[in-house]
Structure 1
C-alpha cells in the first residue's frame, strides 16, 4: 500500500509538472504535505533547501529522498521511476507533436503560456513559505532574511547555493550554541 501511494504521488507530480523542476515543486509539496501527510511544511522546506544545493534535477532529488525516507531503498527507486517515467513518455510524445506543428500559432501560444503559469505556481509556494516564516521567525527576522536574500541574490549576484549553505551553516552554529547553553 505504501509503495503504491509513493508511486501515485510522484507519478501525478511528474505528469502534471509541465515546465521543469520548478513547476513540480508545488505539486510534490501538495502530494507529500497535504495529500499523504508524510512531512509537514517545515520538513519539506528543509528537504527543498538541501535539494537546491545539490547538482541535478530538483524533482528527481526530492522524489528520491522522500521516497527513501518513506519506503526505504524500494521507495526511493519507486519514487524516482514514478517521477521520471511520465516526463520521458510525455517528452517523446510532446516533442513529436510540437516538431510536427511548430509553425502553428496555437503551438507558439501554448509555449508562451507556460512561463506565467510556472511563475504563479512558484509565487504561490513562495508566499506560503513567507507566511510560515513570519509565524516561526517573527515578522522582523523573516523580513530581514527575505530582504537580505534578495540583496545577496540580485544585487551582489551570489549563487543561491552559497546563500543556502551560509544559512544552513548559521542555523547549525545557532543550534550548537543553544545545545551548549542547555548543558551549562
Structure 2
C-alpha cells in the first residue's frame, strides 16, 4: 500500500459495498473483483499481499470473501476501524439475503431454477478466468510434471471427497509433506553420490 494514498473509512466502506454488490457468488468468485479494485486500481495492497491472502483465506475455515475484505480493511485503516467497516459493509447483504429468502418462497420453483443457472454461469466464468491467471503464474515457477501432478491431485480431491471432508487445508498439508519427503530423499541421494565420488577419487 502506498502511504500517500491511505484511504478513508468511507472509501473502504464504499469499496466493500462495490466489490460485493457488483459480483456474484462467494469464495473465489469475488476475488478477481477485489483484486481489480484493491490491487490494480487503488493500489491499497500489493500483488504479493493479495496472493498470500488468497492462499490463507482458502486454508482457514470461514467465508473467504469476508476474510479477504477484512484483510484489506485492516491493512489500510487499522484493526478496529477495519473490523467495524467490514461489519457495516456486510450488513446490507444480510438484510438482502433475508429479503430474497422470503421473496423466493413466493415464486414458482421453475423461476428459482432459472435464477440458479444464471448465477452459476457467471460464477463459473469468473472462476475460470481467476484460475487461468494463477495457472499462467504457476507455470513460471513449476515444471509441467509437478504442476500436472498437483492439479490432478487437487481436482480428484475436490470431485471425489465429499463435504465436509474436502477441506482445502488438507491438500496444502499433503502437498507440504510430499514435497518435504521428496526433497529429503533427493538430498540424501545427492549426498550419497557426492560421498561415492569422493571415495572413488
- Structure 1 residues 154 and 134, CA gap change in structure 2 (3 angstroms): closer
Deviations 1:8-29 (A, max 9, x none): 1111122233322332222222
Deviation at 1:50, TM superposition (A): 0.8
The structure with more radius of gyration: 2
Alignment of 1:1-150 (within 5 A): 1-103=7-109, 105-135=110-140, 137=141, 141=142, 143-150=144-151
Partners of 2:132 and 2:119 lie apart in 1 by 20
**TM-score between both structures, scaled by the size of structure 1:** 0.76
Are the equivalent residues in 1 in contact too, given 2:28–2:64 (CA < 8 A)? yes
- Structure 1 residues 154 and 128, CA gap change in structure 2 (3 angstroms): closer
Deviations 1:33-71 (A, max 9, x none): 122111233321111101111111111111112211111
Residue ranges of structure 2 left out of the alignment (5+ in a row) = 1-6, 184-201
**RMSD across aligned C-alpha pairs, in angstroms?**
2.7
Alignment-derived partner of residue 179 in structure 1 = none
Are the equivalent residues in 2 in contact too, given 1:130–1:142 (CA < 8 A)? no
Partners of 2:133 and 2:23 lie apart in 1 by 19
SS of corresponding position for 1:51: helix
Using the TM superposition, name which of 146-155 and 86-95 deviates more. Answer: 146-155
Are the equivalent residues in 2 in contact too, given 1:7–1:78 (CA < 8 A)? no
Are the equivalent residues in 2 in contact too, given 1:11–1:82 (CA < 8 A)? no
Alignment coverage as a number of residue pairs = 167
